[in-house]
A and B are shown apart, each in its own frame.
Chain A
Amino acid sequence: MSTHDPIAAAVPDPSKPTLDGTTNQYLSFFLGGEEYATNILSVQEIKGWDTVTRVPYSPDYILGVINLRGSIVPVVDLRVRFALPNAVFDAATVIIVVHVAGTRGDRIVGIVVDAVSDVYTLASENIKPPPDVMGAVDHLFVVGLASMDDKLVIILDIERLVTSSVQGDSKAA
């Protein structure tokens, strides 16, 4: 109702980032010195680093599972997922808890990032489609690129990224 309400100000489609002339809010975070962002409506909460229980037969970027108020939630280290160097754990390391559509209702997954940065409001025309070559980050997971002041922010399709990470073949790694 009030224009100050960030959620109400955002557009109807909650999780899918769109390119159709609307405005969305994005939460940005750092991974190995680069700035990435995800649609804020996928984000459930941000929590500090916690003890993770390793799960056997998981790829290296699945750090394990944590207890999120009684639910067992897997944790994906995006720095390992994107093969970024120096994945250190320090005071700024946080887990962003996101919810994405799963096979049976919503799936809750934690992603580890170096630090959270900012919330940006971006109009879809300010988001440029990604180039075909994105290095370690598969361009399938990138919605687009946005220039903020003079920095580059990479907008991720968190749903696709998380689903592929969590469902990947456990014996592959």
Chain B
Amino acid sequence: MSIDLEMEEILNLFFEESFEGLNTMESGLLTLKDGTDRETINTIFRAAHSIKGGAGTFGFMEISGFTHSVETLLDEMRNGTRAITPDALQVLLQSVDVIREMTQSAQAKQPIVMVGADALSGELTRILAQKVPAAASPDSTAANAAATPALAQNSEIHGEVQPPTRDHEPAIAAAAGALEGWRIVFTPDASLFKTCNDPMRIFDELANLGMLEVTANVDNVPSLTDLDPTQCFLSWTLSLHGAVEHARVAEVFDWVEASSKILYEPIYGGERCDVNDRPAVDVPQTAVQRSSGQADLQVVPQNAAKAGAESGSLRVATEKVDALINLVGELVITQSMLSRFAEKFEPEDIESLRRSLAQLTRNTRELQESVMQIRMLPIGFSFNRFPRLVHDLSRKLGKKVELKLSGESTELDKTVLEKIGDPMVHLVRNALDHGLESPAQRLAAGKSETGTLELNAFHEGGSIIIEVKDDGAGLNKERILAKARERGLVESDALLSDEHIFNLIFVAGFSTADTVSDVSGRGVGMDVVRRNINDLGGHVQIFSTQGKGSTIRIRLPLTLAILEGQVLRVGKEIYVASLVSIIETVQSTRDNLSCVAGRTELFKHRTDYLPIIRLHDLFGIEPDSRDIADGLLVVLEADGRRVAMLVDELLAQQQVVIKSLETNFKQVAGLAGATIHGDGTVALILDVPGLIRTFLERQSVQIGRAA
């Protein structure tokens, strides 16, 4: 049993290293140009080689077999016997995806589906078969010869997926010339529609590539009463007839690829009669059917496993652990110093007791900081995915984009890091699709042909700022305003600040795009981005100049576990408000106060009139005084709204550890959680945005009652 466990550990190490290697390969391939930077290609080759070796050792013959053919191509590039073409790079990038998918299946202890790998093997063979002028050297021929058995071996291993009637040799020959079409089994995730993807559009696009037959699989559709119309229960089997490159077919699925199960099966010319008549395709068909029958088992757990892996373990830099060990060492020393006093205590020892306690305080604080540091990861982990995304997307959109990353080493909490990924992807997609113009438009506007997209991260105060900046067309204020008026979001004669206008794009369902593309334009998205960021306790700002570009600035707390808090007192109760939400605190004179309709009290703060929240009324507390002039007004801001909150006294500013109220109790309106004071009592943490919402709701209810 212990051997099993040990084996499991070693396996996990292999998976972790393989994923790391794949990431190295991916980022290497993206920077690889035909300038033939030897070190880059060597790095890629080494990564591929270790994956192959590891997979072979652990008996994942499918992975090692496929990686071997990738390695062959890389080897030729490394030896300089083969030119590095964009075409080859694209295939290599796809191979990385395929290997990653296979490794994930292996990790999830599921059968490795070879259809994607087989399709790519064809592509690889085709490229390997292309004679490059310089490649007439004996050494590359040897490599070619080596590739063929490798592929043959490939087909042997997964004979169950491969049609047994199909001999691989003719297939390779056919692959070089007579590709007749593709059979694609497309099983989207149930959330397909929610990601704004329309299968019809995909099919239309496929139909442009060749003759298309579509068969829908309705097995998974529940009965009408259980049917959720927002979910996609269908899957499709598509037969595309036409000699189309795999890359072009795959491109159509770019947007759904990540969340769907897509199996490609090439149809070769030499076997056409077989293909249409019998086993040759029936066999993969059943293989495919089986996997679509298992769709629930295959697709979902894979994602689940991925999500689990993301939050499950943490890779920590050795220095951080060393620092921690040092601190614990000091703590042990301090503890032994203190325990001395328990044995014998003389009055004159009081001074050294104090010293020891001071040291204990320092140790504890340092230890807390170091432990928090462990959860802090560089944002580079999140940025890393963007070079690939931008590469693929700019290719698809026909735009030239240079991606600049800076501040990758800025650290933030792991939880925040994980949750910020999706909103960032959305913002980057938006910037590429709507922000940056096509090369022709850019030249016409007097800009350089290549657009720039910058991702930037840095610390500011207790927050981390992430900026997504493009030098594209910028937001068109008139168009946003016109659209907003059309939809009745804004009074037709209202004068709005720039900020206000830009914020309109966060309204659900708002889109100014003339055409809805499969990239974006349906108006779902920006509201989700803002909601996700608000959930993390952050906020989004937009800066844009028409013709010059836009900047989206996200401000996030460094961690979700600790809050810079301002401790407040109302009557006998103590509350904590996040310091970030406090603009300032003022003592009001009666002159600054006014009343609207005898109910809503307003406070004149500079040029604004702010509604006054009486926290004691809202929470039912007996305050020191009900007179506003006796208390303090704390000016709070959240979601772009400002209010003044009346409290009796401000106490300390301190870092507080956020504890959940929900674990044992429940969510309470206006409260974000609780924290524990030095004396062991509990103080509640105010949820400022929630508080403002609750307050405004109550106001409107009261006004409603009064009317």
Residues of A at the B interface (CB closer than 8 Å) are 51, 53-58, 64-67, 70-74, 102, 104, 107-109, 166-167, 170-171
Contacts and interface: CB of A to CB of B under 8 A. Distances in A.
| 8 closest Cβ pairs, A-B complex | A56-B619, A53-B682, A74-B665, A72-B674, A67-B676, A72-B659, A108-B664, A67-B682
Interface in B652-707: 659-661, 663-666, 668-671, 673-674, 676, 680-684
Given A58-B668, A72-B682, 4 more contacts: A53-B674, A53-B682, A67-B681, A166-B666
Nearest to B574: A53
B668 A70 contact: no
A72 B618 contact: no
Contacts of B620: 56
B573 interface: yes
B668 A71 contact: no
Given A53-B684, A55-B684, A65-B682, A167 B666 contact: yes
A170 B662 CA distance: 13
Contact of A71 (B618, B663, B669, B680): B663
Nearest to A66: B682
Nearest to B674: A72
Contacts of B674: 53, 65, 72
B664 A73 contact: yes
Contacts of B665: 55, 65, 72-74, 166
B669 A57 contact: yes
Contact of B669 (A53, A166, A170): A170
A70 B660 CA distance: 10
Contacts of A64: 682
User: Which of B665, B669, B671, B680 is packed against the most chain A CB atoms within 10 Å?
Assistant: B665
Contacts of A108: 664
A56 B671 contact: yes
Contacts of B676: 67, 70, 72
Interface of B: 573-574, 618-621, 659-661, 663-666, 668-671, 673-674, 676, 680-684
Nearest to A73: B664
B369 to A, nearest CB: 18
24 contacts: A53-B681, A53-B684, A55-B668, A55-B684, A56-B618, A56-B668, A56-B670, A57-B619, A57-B668, A57-B670, A58-B668, A64-B682, A65-B682, A65-B684, A67-B681, A71-B664, A72-B661, A72-B663, A72-B665, A74-B664, A102-B664, A107-B663, A166-B665, A170-B668
A55 B663 contact: no
B646 to A, nearest CB: 15
A118 B142 CA distance: 87
Contacts of B660: 72
Nearest to B673: A72
A67 B661 CA distance: 11
B666 A72 contact: no
A64 B674 CA distance: 11
Given A58-B668, A170-B668, A53 B661 contact: no
Nearest to B675: A72
A51 B663 contact: no
A88 to B, nearest CB: 20
Contacts of A58: 668
Contacts of A70: 659, 676
A102 B660 CA distance: 14
B626 to A, nearest CB: 18
Contacts of B671: 55-56
A107 B666 CA distance: 10
A51 B677 CA distance: 12
A70 B673 CA distance: 13
A67 B664 contact: no
A97 to B, nearest CB: 10
B618 to A, nearest CB: 7
A107 B660 CA distance: 12
A67 B657 CA distance: 13
Given A53-B683, A56-B619, A72-B674, A109 B664 contact: yes
Contacts of B666: 166-167, 170
Nearest to A110: B664
Contacts of A65: 661, 665, 674, 682, 684
Contacts of B681: 51, 53, 67
Contacts of B618: 56
Nearest to B665: A74
Contact of B680 (A57, A67, A73, A166): A67
Nearest to B681: A51
Contacts of B682: 53, 64-67, 72
A56 B621 CA distance: 9
Nearest to A54: B573
A139 B35 CA distance: 83
User: Which of A55, A56, A71, A102 is packed against the most chain B CB atoms within 10 Å?
Assistant: A56
A107 B664 CA distance: 5
Contacts of B619: 56-57
Nearest to A58: B668
B397 to A, nearest CB: 43
A44 to B, nearest CB: 11
A107 B665 CA distance: 8
Contact of B664 (A53, A54, A72): A72
A108 B664 CA distance: 5
Nearest to B683: A53
A17 B619 CA distance: 39
A169 B125 CA distance: 66
Nearest to B659: A72
Contacts of B574: 53
User: Which of B619, B664, B666 is packed against the most chain A CB atoms within 10 Å?
Assistant: B664
A74 B661 CA distance: 9
A67 B660 CA distance: 12
B292 to A, nearest CB: 34
User: Which of B618, B680, B683 is packed against the most chain A CB atoms within 10 Å?
Assistant: B680
A67 B668 CA distance: 17
A130 to B, nearest CB: 28
B688 to A, nearest CB: 15
A64 B671 CA distance: 13
Nearest to B657: A70
